Amino acid sequence: MTDSLAQTLKPVAVTAVGYILLLVTGTIIQLISPVWGALFSIILLLGQFSYMMKLIEASKRFALHEMVPALVTWTMAGLLRQQQDYAFATVSLILLGYRLFELYF
């Protein structure tokens, strides 16, 4: 039971810590140079776009595997009031849900 719980909590913790580290990194870069902060934001947006393209063609196993990190990102963005991240996480969840629906039915 505890091994199963540890396997479930590991991606949650990794996603939450990664999200916070990206926010802190982005804030520090923005404080140092607004231009570099804007470039960092654009790079992150392009990464999110490529992730969404990957979700559209996802296998059943990949889509199920990505559901927990997507939910964690969505929750963290909502709690930390990051509107842009919340919007992208919502779109990711919709794409994941659609893909899972498409694969199962």
Q: pTM surpassing 0.75?
A: no
Host domain of residue 94: 2-104
Residue 98, pLDDT > 70, answer yes
pLDDT in tens, 4-46: 777 777 878 888 888 889 889 988 998 999 999 889 888 988 8
Residue 103 makes CB contacts below 8 A (sequence gap 6+) with 59, 60, 63
Q: How many domains does the chain have?
A: 1
